[in-house]
Amino acid sequence: MIYELLFFISAVSALIGAIGAVRFPDFYTRVHALTMVTVGGVLVGLTTLAIQTGFSAYSAKIALIIVFLLLTSPASAHAIAHAAHISGKRPIASRDMLAEKRRGEQ
């Protein structure tokens, strides 16, 4: 029962991240949504699978995959976002837009 619940949480997290990748307005928020798919969807699913298989060679391999993803996912998302920033890709909501909105409310 608990494994089905954890796999369901993994699937829902991946679905929310995929919807965010389609619905979010700019590149940077989309990268954030896709990183959520990796962390929330894949890692919860792999952890559930490792727990379900018990202590075996498969769970050791899954643990190595989890460690690899935990180390590389944030770094790769940062590298992609940094490359987009260097190439001139600007977020839709910049600080100037937020400052103008605050001035308009006063």
Q: Spell 5-33 as b/e; 16+ CB within 10 A means b.
A: ebeeebeebbeebeebbeebeebbbbbeb
DSSP 87: T
pLDDT given for residue 104 in this prediction: 64
pLDDT given for residue 41 in this prediction: 86
Low-confidence ranges of the chain (pLDDT < 70): 93-106
> Do the Cβ atoms of 41 and 13 come closer than 8 Å?
yes
Burial class (CB in 10 A: 0-12, 13-18, 19+), 41: buried
Q: Taking Cα atoms as reference points, which of 2, 80, 74, 82 lies closest to residue 38?
A: 74
pLDDT given for residue 103 in this prediction: 67
pLDDT given for residue 95 in this prediction: 60
